[in-house]
Structure 1
Amino acid sequence: MSVTISAALVRELRERTSAGMMECKRALEATGGDIGKAVEELRKSGRAKADKKAGRIAAEGAIAIKETGNRAAMVEVNSETDFVSRDVNFAAFVNAVAETVLKHQAADIEKLSLLPLEGQAKLTVEEARQQLVAKVGENIQIRRAVLSSDKAKSIGHYVHGSRIGVMVEMDCDNKELARDIGMHIAASRPMVIAPDHVSADVIAKEKEIYMAQALTSGKPQDIIEKMVAGRLKKFMDEVSLVGQPFVKDPDVTVGSMLNKQRAKVLAFHRYEVGEGMEKVTEDFKESVMSQVQGS
């Protein structure tokens, strides 16, 4: 049975890929209207310049990180507008939620909502949230929270404009290095620590796309396989922390810098306000990089 493809869906795919309208329509028809699969089809055929819309931000809000000793907590709380996200009452609530997560070691949102809000002993987190909603006139939601493990010798954290937050767990006692790594992660968005941490599913999908692109070159199979292998290696370096050029010294990779310091990243967590939702946002990498260069 054929699927009716709406003009709005075609426009959305075109915005995400910069492919032609008819190419977008054909890709949607071929994938039964599945926009994610249509993006992949256009990438395979080389018609998609980039998935421009992927990763755009819809929700407003703020991120806060609190630390004590060698433990830390990070939270994201969302509002409907940027105006409210800059409100002092909203900021106080976000910070109090982070303090509560850290104090009670409670990253589960459902359990967290029942705990007394730090600094507001008479109110639970949920009661305080409801009061804030009534005060600012917007829907406020605690979206997610994360705690560091107890394995780290030091924890570095970095918050960029309350919209990006990073926690880094290190195997060495070097706070300055941990914070520098946090700043790098904020700017460069690695998916994993090392190339061998990239999931088999992600590798298989990228390999399929690169193979489809390479086959259009008309080159011999052995050359095509070398092309695909080279592109895969480049991809895995780009998405892994240790393979990326260090933001403070692009002439060296993060991995070589860590080796020189005899340090190791055990884990990292990166939050960006509204991550995974749909809304145009500023270029955070450029913004973070300007801070790095000025520091």
Structure 2
Amino acid sequence: MAITAAQVKELRELSGAGMMDAKKALVENDGDMEAAIDWLRTKGLAKAAKKSGRTAAEGLVAVAVDGGTGVAVEVNSETDFVAKNGEFQTMVKGIAEAALKVDDVDALAAADLGGKSVADTLTDKIATIGENMTLRRMAKVQGDTIATYIHNAAGTDMGKIGVVVALKGTDEAFGKQVAMHIAAANPASLSEADLDPAVVEKEKQVQIDIARESGKPEAVIEKMIEGRMKKFMAEVTLLGQQFVVNPDLTVAKAAEEAGVEITGFIRLEVGEGIEKVEEDFAAEVAKAAQG
């Protein structure tokens, strides 16, 4: 029988399942709503969907390299306990390797992982492990040399912060040093040319307001702003920063002395930018008791 959009919508609202899962459940059960809900439950899909509203701000960043291509992916979970789970880590490793063959997170969600899509694999893990999980983001760089670094490692090539650096030239040891620098210094961009113009404009306006508060002549204010913006650029761009390995050099100068060019980098940190809803322990227990 033909399944209507209204039926799919109703089943999604009842079960919390995704659109395609809801439609398949109805097709498999000839439009019978009760049977479709049971079908979703037996597949673990309704159970997974009920968890989808929970904040997943923990998890892992994993990196993978294949020749001149490097990727980093972030897969989130609700708790750090799951991030330490071997089953979860194996899945994240597989997702990172699958990311080498695609260009964005949507393609990664649809990519094959052991005979299932990455999205379906995540759904299965949500049902079996019992926490909400999300494939949040991925990024890719290419170069003659790819170097990686994991900070707060939870396993091989995965942890709380993952960095991938692309170099023109061959000096993997230097690339590793740069990757460690990026993990610590968290530059906003490679160079001034790559910096978001909105970020630059916002900082400039702040510096204009600060300078005008001084009451100094306009010509002096312009010089003050120019100097402060130069300092800002040095602080937030990788090539302008003082190299943590040798603070007497900028990263750009250190790369020049190493005979390489840094062409790109990725830095992903678990949960970066996700707003966490904090609950005290007593509230969590009370909530669990009511559920």
TM over 0.5: yes
Between Structure 1 and Structure 2, how many residues are aligned?
217
CA 1:58–1:112 in structure 2 vs 1: closer, same or farther (change >3 Å)?
A: closer
Query: What whole-Å deviation, never above 9, does each CA across 1:219-244 have from its counterpart, x for those lacking one?
Result: 22222111111111100110111111
Matches within 5 A, 1:1-295: 59-102=57-100, 105-117=101-113, 120=114, 122-149=115-142, 152-161=143-152, 162-279=159-276
Query: What whole-Å deviation, never above 9, does each CA across 1:138-184 have from its counterpart, x for those lacking one?
Result: 111111112223xx111111111201111111001111111111111
- For 1:289, the equivalent position in structure 2 comes to none
Identity %: 39
CA 1:141–1:264 in structure 2 vs 1: closer, same or farther (change >3 Å)?
A: same
The higher-RCO structure (CA 8 Å, 6+ apart) is: 1
CA 1:133–1:199 in structure 2 vs 1: closer, same or farther (change >3 Å)?
A: closer
Does the CA contact (< 8 Å) of 2:149 and 2:176 recur in 1? yes
Does the CA contact (< 8 Å) of 2:56 and 2:76 recur in 1? no
Query: What whole-Å deviation, never above 9, does each CA across 1:105-151 have from its counterpart, x for those lacking one?
Result: 1143333233321xx3x3332222112111211111111112223xx
Query: What whole-Å deviation, never above 9, does each CA across 1:198-254 have from its counterpart, x for those lacking one?
Result: 343322221111111111111222221111111111001101111111111222211
Please give the alpha-carbon distance, in whole angstroms, between the structure 2 residues aligned to 1:210 and 1:58: 37
AA matched with 1:64: A
CA 1:276–1:58 in structure 2 vs 1: closer, same or farther (change >3 Å)?
A: farther
Does the CA contact (< 8 Å) of 2:149 and 2:180 recur in 1? yes
Please give the alpha-carbon distance, in whole angstroms, between the structure 2 residues aligned to 1:192 and 1:66: 21
Please give the alpha-carbon distance, in whole angstroms, between the structure 2 residues aligned to 1:58 and 1:185: 25
AA matched with 1:114: A
Q: Displacement, 1:265?
A: 0.7
CA 1:192–1:113 in structure 2 vs 1: closer, same or farther (change >3 Å)?
A: closer
Please give the alpha-carbon distance, in whole angstroms, between the structure 2 residues aligned to 1:59 and 1:69: 31
